Chain A
Amino acid sequence: MNLAQLDRRWIFAIIALSVALPLMFPIGLTGEVSPGTRTFHTLIENLGPEDVIIVSFDCEASSWPEIGPVATVLLRHVLERGVKVVGTSFLSEGTALGYDLLATLEAEVGGEYGGDWVYLGFRPQYVATMLALGEDMQSEYPRDYLGQSTGDLPLLQSVKSYRQIRLVISIADDTMPQYWIEYAGARYGVAIAAGLSAVMVTTFTPYLDSGQLKSILAGLKGAAEYEIMRGERGAGLRGMDAQSSAHLAIIILVLVGNIAYFMKRKDT
C-alpha cells in the first residue's frame, strides 16, 4: 500500500474516531495544573464582594466550543466569590453568548441584575469605547443590553469609570486583549487578564512576562486545569480524553507520514 497516495478522508475518519470514542467511553484523564492556572485562580481568590470587574466577551460564536468552557469555569468562580460584574462585548456574536452565560451563572448564585451584575452589550468601535470607559461609563453606554437606562442601574451608581474597576477579564479568541492592555491597562492602569483560545497563547505570553497581563487561561486544557482546582467536572475535563487521544493520533500520523516520505525518497 502506497501511503503517499492514501486518501486524506481516511485521516479525517481516524481523527473523528479518536475524538468521538473517548467521549463515548471516557477514561478520565486529568493531568497536572500548570503554574499559570494557579496564578489565575489566586487572582480571583483575592477578589471579594466589594470588588467590581469588567468581563468582556470578545469572541465569535465559532470559537465558543473552545472558549465557552474557559469562560464558564472562570465566571462561576468569580460569581461564587460575590464579585460584581459589568459585562460588555466588542464582537457582535459574543454579545448574546456572553449575556446568556452570565445570566445562567448569576441565576445559579442568586445574583440580581442591576445590583450584582449589569450587561452593557456591544460596541463596534472598541478603541474609542475602551478609552471612554476610563472617563464616564454612563455617557458611553446610556442604555444597557436590555435597553434600560444605565443611570437607573444601582451598580452603575457607584461605578463610574475604571477607577472603580479592580480587574478586566477579556474572554477572547483573537487579539482584543492587546487593545485592553494598550487602552485600559497602559493608559488607565487597570489590571488585565484574559481567557483565551489556545491559538493565542504565544501572542500573549510576552505580555504576561512583562506584567501587562496579570494572567491567562487558555483553551480546553486551561479550562480543565481550572476545573481540577475548583473540584468540578465541566466541559474542559470531559474533553481531555478526546484531546489526548486526538493528539496521539496526530503524532502517530506525523511519524507514519515521515517514515513513508523517507522510504519513498530512498527508493527513488
Chain B
Amino acid sequence: MTPTGIWLSAIGTLAIFSFLYKDNPLYRATEQILVGLSVGYLIVMTFQSTLIPRVVEPVQNLEAWGFVSAIWVLLMWTRLSAKYNYISRWPLAIIVGAGAGLSIPAMLKARIITQLGATIRPDITIDVIIGAVGVISTLSYFYFTRPQTGPFRVASKLGTLYLMVFFGATFGYTIMSRLSLLIGRTEFLLGSWLGIL
C-alpha cells in the first residue's frame, strides 16, 4: 500500500472508531463515503464485467443473443414509466421463474435430502444419537399446530435447550470474529501506520 493509501486508511479507521466515544460528523461523513464507494464500485464492476461483455459487445458484433439480452435489459427500465411499468414485470417473471426452477431442486437435494441422510445414519454412534435427538426435538419446538403438552412438551423443551446451545456457540464465534477484525485494524494502525510493531 502506498503512503497515501496508508494515511487514508488510518484516518478512515480512526474516524469510524470515533463513534465509540460519541456520534460525530467525521464518523457520519466517513460512513457515507464508505457506502458511496461500495455502491459505486459495485456498479462499475457490474458494468465492466457483465454488461459490456454480455450485452454491449455482442450488440456491437451484431450477435442475436446480444439483442435479446439488450431488449430484456431495456424492458426493465420501463419501471420508471407510470404508464408502461407493467412491462418491467416480464423480465422479472423470467428471472423469478428461472431462479425458482434452478434453485428448488438444488436446495432440496443439498439442504434437505442429503442433510437428512447424514442425520439418520445406520451407524449408531453417540454423535448420531445426539444429532438425531437434536433435530427431532428442535423441529417439535417449531410445530405449532397442536398444543405443546405431555411428551410433546418435553421434546419441545429439549429443542429449546439445543437452540440455546446453538445460539451460545454462534455468539461465541461472533465475538471471536469481531475481535479478529479489531485485531487486524489495530495491527494496521500500530504497524503499517505508526510503525510501532
Contacts and interface: CB of A to CB of B under 8 A. Distances in A.
Interface of A: 9, 12, 15-16, 19-20, 23-24, 62-66, 68, 92-93, 95, 121-125, 127-128, 131, 142-143, 178, 181-183, 185-187, 197-202, 206-207, 209-212, 218-221, 235, 238-239, 242-243, 246-247, 250
A92 B110 contact: no
A68 to B, nearest CB: 7
B183 A242 contact: yes
B177 to A, nearest CB: 4
B182 interface: yes
A54 to B, nearest CB: 17
Contact of B173 (A23, A128, A199): A199
A23 B106 contact: no
Given A127-B102, A131-B102, A242-B186, A198 B180 contact: yes
A84 B152 CA distance: 54
Main SS at interface, chain B: helix
B12 to A, nearest CB: 11
Given A128-B102, A197-B177, A247-B179, 19 more contacts: A19-B186, A23-B197, A24-B196, A92-B41, A122-B49, A123-B49, A123-B50, A131-B102, A181-B110, A182-B103, A182-B106, A182-B109, A187-B109, A199-B174, A202-B170, A212-B114, A235-B184, A242-B186, A243-B183
A199 B167 CA distance: 11
B176 interface: yes
B83 interface: no
Interface in B27-47: 38, 41-42, 45-46
Residue of A64, A65, A93, A206 with most chain B CB atoms under a 10 A cut-off = A65
Interface in B82-99: 99
B103 A239 contact: no
B21 interface: yes
Contacts, number: 143
A122 B53 CA distance: 12
22 contacts: A9-B21, A23-B187, A24-B190, A24-B197, A64-B184, A66-B184, A92-B46, A95-B45, A122-B45, A123-B50, A127-B102, A127-B103, A187-B109, A198-B176, A199-B177, A211-B118, A212-B110, A220-B176, A238-B187, A242-B183, A246-B179, A246-B182
Contact of A182 (B20, B49, B110, B174): B110
B118 A182 contact: no
Contacts of B118: 206, 209-211
A150 to B, nearest CB: 10
Nearest to B188: A65
